[in-house]
C-alpha cells in the first residue's frame, strides 16, 4: 500500500522518543510534527516511549497549537516522555511485540517513527518485520538521537553537537577561572563528561584550545587504558610548565584490569555507598599523590539539557532528520533511518539520506584510533576536522522577561484507549 506524500493518505503517524534525552530531540519532534501536518497526516505521540505504545498511552498532538509545536524546536528534554526500556527478543517475548502491533492497528497507525539510539533502531526494525508477518503493514522509520555519537552509518548523531559545544565552552570558561587563581588556589581542575564507552564528548572538549599549553591539557578517553602514573606525570608536568592544568575525563575510563574508575566502590564514613564519578576518584589521586589543590565538576544532566547553548548545526541536523523521517514514511519506505552524510569538511556541507535499520540496529560506532594523539591525552588534527563543524553556530532560545529561557510544556492530551490493559 505505497502512498505518496501529496495525496493526504489515510491513517495516522505515531512518534515516540527513546533513551536518554538531549537538548535537541524536541527539535526532531518539531520536524516530524510540522512535516506531517503539512502533509495532512495526523500525529500521535507515545507517552514515555515504547512503553506508551505497550500501555496504549497515546497523546494527540493535534490538540497542540502551531506555536507550541514550533517552540519544541528550542525546548530541551523529551516533550512526550522517553524511557529506558529494552524489549526482549522476539523469541523471548512475542506477546509484547504482538501487543505493539495491536495498539498500532487499533489506532490506525500506518507509520511509526522511533527516535532513539541503536536499541531503538533494533526495536523499529523488529516491529517492521513482525507487522508484515501479522498482516498489518506499518512503515517503521528509525530517527537518530544520542549525545554519545555512537550510532553506525550516520556521520554524527543529533544531540552530540550541542553537548560537544557545551563541553568545549565549559572547558574554556572554567580554565579562565582556574588560570586566574592558580598562584594561590586550585591548580588542577577536572571535568567529567558523559559518553559511555565512546570518547566522543571528551574529544570535543579538545576544541576549547589548541597547542600543548592550551586547555584541556589532559583528556582521558575510554578508548585508552587508564595509566595512573602516566596521568599524574602529565598533570605535574603541565602544572610545572603552565602553572595549572585542566583535565577532561570520560565517565567510561577503565584501568588495565578493565574496571571502571567510577566504580571504585567508595563508601562514606558510615559505610553507605557513595555515588560518585570518575572525577572524584581522579581528584583524590591528584591530591594524595601530587599534593596539589584540586577541584572537579560533574555537570551530569546539565550537559545534555543545556539547550541555551545548543549548536546551530546540531539543531539543524535534529530538525532535518525529523522532517526526512516523515518524508520517507509517507513515500512508503520501510525499516530505514535518515542519516547525516557529510559531503565536505570545509566548508562544512551535509545532506540527509536513508540507511537500512539493519545496518544500525545494535551496532556501536567507535571513535577512530586516528582521532587520539600519540600521547593518548589529546586529539589529532583529523579529530578537529571532524568535530569543528558540529559545534558551529548559536541558536539561543527566546528568553522571557524573567531572564529565563521560554521553554514550552505541551498539553499532552491523552487519546482514549480502545483496548483492554496489557496484562503483564
Catalytic residues: 148
Q: Which of residues 195-214 bind a copy of itself (CB under 8 A)?
A: 207-208
Q: Which is nearer to a copy of itself, 230 or 298 (CB)?
A: 298
Nearest distance from C-beta of residue 395 to a copy of itself, angstroms: 11
Segment contacting a copy of itself (CB under 8 A): 75-83, 223-231, 323-331, 337-345? Answer: 75-83
Contact 253, 261 (CB under 8 A): yes
Q: Which residues contact 42 (CB under 8 A, 6 or more apart)?
A: 12, 13, 36, 60, 62
Please tell me the distance from the alpha carbon of residue 53 to that of residue 409, in angstroms, as a whole number: 21
Please name the residue that has the C-alpha cell 553507605: 272
Per CB under 8 A, does 154 bind a copy of itself? no
List the one residue from 135, 211, 258, 403 that touches a copy of itself (CB under 8 A).
403
The three grid cell numbers given for residue 184, joined into one nine-digit string:
594561590
**Which one of 393, 412, 414, 422 is in contact with a copy of itself (CB under 8 A)?**
393
Q: Which residue from 221, 75, 246 is spatially nearest to 162, judged by alpha carbons? A: 75
Contacts with a copy of itself in 92-111 (CB under 8 A)?
Answer: none
**CA–CA distance, 144 with 25 (Å, rounded to integer):** 9
Contact call for residues 325 and 339 (beta carbons, < 8 A)? no
**Residue 60 annotated as lining a ligand binding site:** no
Q: Is residue 115 a contact residue for a copy of itself (CB under 8 A)?
A: no
241 is in an annotated binding site: no
Q: Please enumerate in sequence order all residues whose Cβ is within 8 A of that of 70, keeping only pairs 6 or more positions apart, or say none.
A: 30, 34
Nearer to a copy of itself (CB atom), residue 39 or residue 193: 193
Q: Which stretch binds a copy of itself (CB under 8 A): 102-110, 193-201, 331-339, 386-394?
A: 386-394
Q: Which stretch binds a copy of itself (CB under 8 A): 32-40, 72-80, 111-119, 373-381?
A: 72-80
Is residue 168 within 8 Å of 387, Cβ to Cβ? no
Contact 310, 391 (CB under 8 A): no
Tell me the window of 108-116, 289-297, 321-329, 410-418 that interacts with a copy of itself (CB under 8 A): 289-297
> Of these, 51, 125, 143, 324, which contacts a copy of itself (CB under 8 A)?
51
Query: Any binding-site annotation on 194?
Result: yes
- Give the largest Cα separation in the chain, rounded: 73
One-letter-per-residue 3-state SS of 88-113: CCCCCCHHHHHHHHHHHHHCCEEEEE
Q: Which three cell numbers stand for residue 191?
A: 571535568
185 part of the interface to a copy of itself, by CB under 8 A: yes
258 is in an annotated binding site: no
Residues numbered 297 to 356 that lie near a copy of itself (CB under 8 A) are 297-302, 304-309, 311-313
Q: Is 302 assigned to a binding site? A: yes
CB 143 within 8 A of CB 113: yes
Known binding positions for Mg(2+): 118
Indicate the annotated binding residues.
20, 118, 146-148, 194-196, 251, 301-304
Amino acid at each position: 500500500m505505497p502512498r505518496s506524500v501529496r495525496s493526504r493518505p489515510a491513517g495516522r503517524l505515531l512518534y515516540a522518543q527513546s533513551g536518554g534525552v538531549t537538548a535537541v530531540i524536541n527539535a526532531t519532534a518539531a520536524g516530524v510534527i510540522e512535516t506531517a501536518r503539512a502533509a495532512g497526516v495526523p500525529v500521535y505521540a507515545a507517552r514515555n516511549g515504547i512503553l506508551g505504545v505497550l500501555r496504549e498511552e497515546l497523546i494527540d498532538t493535534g490538540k497542540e497549537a502551531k506555536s507550541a509545536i514550533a517552540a519544541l524546536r528550542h525546548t530541551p528534554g523529551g516533550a512526550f516522555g522517553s524511557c529506558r526500556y529494552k524489549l526482549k527478543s522476539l523469541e523471548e517475548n512475542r506477546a509484547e511485540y504482538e501487543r505493539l502491533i495491536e495498539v498500532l492497528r487499533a489506532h490506525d497507525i500506518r507509520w511509526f517513527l522511533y527516535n532513539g539510539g541503536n536499541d531503538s533502531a533494533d526495536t523499529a526494525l523488529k516491529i517492521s518485520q513482525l507487522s508484515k508477518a501479522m498482516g498489518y503493514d506499518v512503515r517503521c522509520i528509525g530517527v537518530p538521537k544520542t549525545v554519545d555519537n555512537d550510532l553506525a552509518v550516520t556521520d554524527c548523531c543529533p544531540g552530540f553537537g550541542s553537548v560537544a559545544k557545551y563541553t568545549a565552552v565549559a572547558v574554556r570558561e572554567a580554565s579562565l577561572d582556574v588560570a586566574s587563581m592558580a598562584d594561590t588556589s586550585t591548580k588542577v581542575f577536572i571535568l567529567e563528561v558523559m559518553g559511555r564507552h565512546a570518547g566522543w564528548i571528551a574529544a570535543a572538549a579538545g576544541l576549547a584550545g589548541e597547542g600543548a599549553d592550551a586547555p584541556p591539557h589532559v583528556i582521558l578517553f575510554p578508548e585508552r587504558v587508564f595509566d595512573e602514573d602516566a596521568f599524574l606525570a602529565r598533570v605535574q608536568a603541565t602544572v610545572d610548565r603552565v602553572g595549572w592544568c585542566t583535565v577532561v575525563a570520560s565517565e567510561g575510563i577503565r584501568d588495565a584490569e578493565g574496571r571502571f574508575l567510577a566504580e571504585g566502590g567508595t563508601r562514606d564514613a558510615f559505610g553507605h555507598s557513595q555515588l560518585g564519578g570518575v572525577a572524584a576518584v581522579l581528584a583524590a589521586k591528584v591530591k594524595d599523590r601530587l599534593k596539589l589543590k584540586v577541584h572537579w565538576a560533574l555537570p551530569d544532566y546539565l550537559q545534555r539539557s543545556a539547550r541555551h547553548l545548543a549548536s546551530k548545526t546540531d539543531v539543524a541536523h535534529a530538525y532535518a532528520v525529523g522532517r526526512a523521517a516523515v518524508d520517507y514514511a509517507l513515500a512508503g519506505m520501510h525499516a530505514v533511518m535518515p542519516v547525516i552524510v557529510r559531503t565536505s569538511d570545509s566548508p562544512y556541507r551535509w545532506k540527509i539520506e536513508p540507511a537500512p535499520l539493519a545496518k544500525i540496529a545494535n551496532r556501536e560506532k567507535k571513535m577512530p584510533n586516528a582521532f587520539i594523539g600519540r600521547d593518548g591525552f589529546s586529539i589529532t588534527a583529523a579529530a578537529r576536522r571532524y568535530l569543528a563543524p558540529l559545534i558551529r553556530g548559536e541558536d539561543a532560545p527566546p528568553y522571557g522577561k524573567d531572564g529565563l529561557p521560554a521553554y514550552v510544556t505541551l498539553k499532552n492530551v491523552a487519546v482514549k484507549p480502545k483496548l483492554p490493559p496489557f496484562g503483564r
